[in-house]
Amino acid sequence: MAAYLDHAATTPMHEAAIEAMTATMRTVGNASSLHTAGRRARALVEESRERIGVALDARPSEVIFTSGGTESDNLAIKGTYAARRATDPSKRTIVASAIEHHAVLDPIEFLVNTQGARVRWLGVDRGGRLLVDSLDELLAERADSVALISVMWANNEVGTVQPVREVVTRAQAYGIPVHTDAVQAVGHLPVSFADSGVDLMTITGHKVGGPLGIGLLLARRSAGLVPLVHGGGQERQVRSGTLDVPGIVGLAAALDVTVAQREAQTRRLTALRDRLIEGALGLGLGAQVTGTWRAGDAQERLAGHAHLIIEGCEGDSLLYLLDAAGIECSTGSACQAGVPQPSHVVLALGHTEAQARGALRLTLGHSSTDADIEAFLGALPAVVERARRAAGVA
């Protein structure tokens, strides 16, 4: 079997989630129907909402089910922007970190291109941590015009954890709503919606051992959100559409397992991640680790995230050669029209384009083992040699 080192892309479902979901798929019921089958489906949804509230320390009424992280990010950004502009048209500035996922970057660009928004991207230091001072400067200059601030909880490429609490403290002083994309954080860090102080938080099922195509936005009751999808008025009139009852049940079951196993998994994965990074750096290939990394630490960098730059190689060549050797991983960045683009995250950390092209992301999760790490380290020297030859370097 291949060594799967791409848990940040999607992680295998937990058995309990598969069982809960398949049992629900065998029953009929639209949660909006009034007959017995409908009420049974509704009961499953509301029970799941409560369990999710417990897992994430949120009120059940703060849970809005969506189709996943991308939709939740879009709803948070576009829905808040529209609501804030409706009450005060001068609130046109959106503030976000430069290392957000495209599910945050692109809705912001859309609002800039079509809805008169202005954006201020906040930089990060070499370790990948938000420069909070730049937020202070910006707020001192133009807090009145800020519609919202969006800063992810943990980065999906390098795994650095962001100072969300510090952002919230500053935003609250000016009454500015804060959204955080916590897609990569849940399961690796303690995530409490109540304690975080944020107004909106994005979560997706398939990164926590739940099904694909289901996620949620946690939204405080006070958060004004203009809906993006209109129809049957489900989910507080904010997100219409027939609820995916099996998906919701599967997500609740997965979150239960993920949160219950978090501490033990974090310890285990930190040791595996450190072995991977130390092993890769020690092979004499000129590899460097990207972002903050201290052996044993899982507060500043996610326990499951390793991210390397191997200069003189194209990340895509590394990926395909590793795949051929039975190792599945990622470059972390997207292709546009089939052309690999250097990652905006790696560039934001201050690396050159040449370095960014040699980026490789290796992410671990609940099914990762020592054997996966050893398989990767065993395959890497020959793969790097071939990738450098292909690039004309070696």
Nearer to ligand PLP, 56 or 321 (CB): 56
- Min CB(367)–ligand PLP separation in Å: 18
71-108: string of b/e by CB count within 10 Å (b at 16+)? Answer: bbbbbbbbbbbbbbbeeeeebbbbbbbbbbbebbbebb
> Residue 251, by phi and psi: left (phi above 0), alpha (psi -120 to 50) or beta?
alpha
Nearer to ligand PLP, 152 or 309 (CB): 152
In the set 103, 251, 322, 387, which binds ligand PLP (CB under 6 A)? 103
- Min CB(68)–ligand PLP separation in Å: 3
- Min CB(92)–ligand PLP separation in Å: 24
Q: Which two tokens stand for residue 325?
A: 């050797």
**How far lies 388's CA from each of 276, 318, 351, in Å?**
21, 9, 19
- Min CB(343)–ligand PLP separation in Å: 13
Please give the residue whose beta carbon sits closest to ligand PLP in the complex.
69
Q: Which two tokens stand for residue 142?
A: 């133009």
Nearer to ligand PLP, 184 or 234 (CB): 184
Q: Residue 242: CB partners within 8 Å, gap ≥ 6? A: 30, 31, 32, 232, 234
Contact 224, 87 (CB under 8 A): yes
Is residue 101 involved in binding ligand PLP (CB under 6 A)?
yes
Nearer to ligand PLP, 40 or 102 (CB): 102
Closest CA to 95 of 113, 82, 79, 112: 112
Q: Which two tokens stand for residue 207?
A: 């990164």
Phi, psi (rounded to 5 degrees) for 79: -65, -40
- Min CB(185)–ligand PLP separation in Å: 9
Using CB under 6 A as the binding rule, the residues of this chain from 150 to 209 that contact ligand PLP are: 152, 156, 181, 183-184, 204
Q: Residue 56: CB partners within 8 Å, gap ≥ 6? A: 186, 191, 192, 193, 201, 203, 218, 255, 259
Nearer to ligand PLP, 29 or 332 (CB): 332
Examine the residue annotation and report whether 313 is marked as an active-site residue of this protein: no
Contact 327, 2 (CB under 8 A): yes
Using CB under 6 A as the binding rule, the residues of this chain from 48 to 77 that contact ligand PLP are: 68-70, 73
**How far lies 28's CA from each of 72, 231, 278, 353, 367, in Å?**
27, 22, 52, 53, 32
Size of site (CB under 6 A) for ligand PLP? 13
Using CB under 6 A as the binding rule, the residues of this chain from 212 to 231 that contact ligand PLP are: 215
Nearer to ligand PLP, 97 or 270 (CB): 97
Helix (H, G, I), strand (E, B) or coil at 59: coil
Helix (H, G, I), strand (E, B) or coil at 277: helix
Among residues 324, 335, 354, 382, the one annotated as catalytic is 335
- Min CB(381)–ligand PLP separation in Å: 30
- Min CB(307)–ligand PLP separation in Å: 13
Nearer to ligand PLP, 53 or 205 (CB): 205
Active site residues: 335
Binding site for ligand PLP (CB under 6 A): 68-70, 73, 101, 103, 152, 156, 181, 183-184, 204, 215
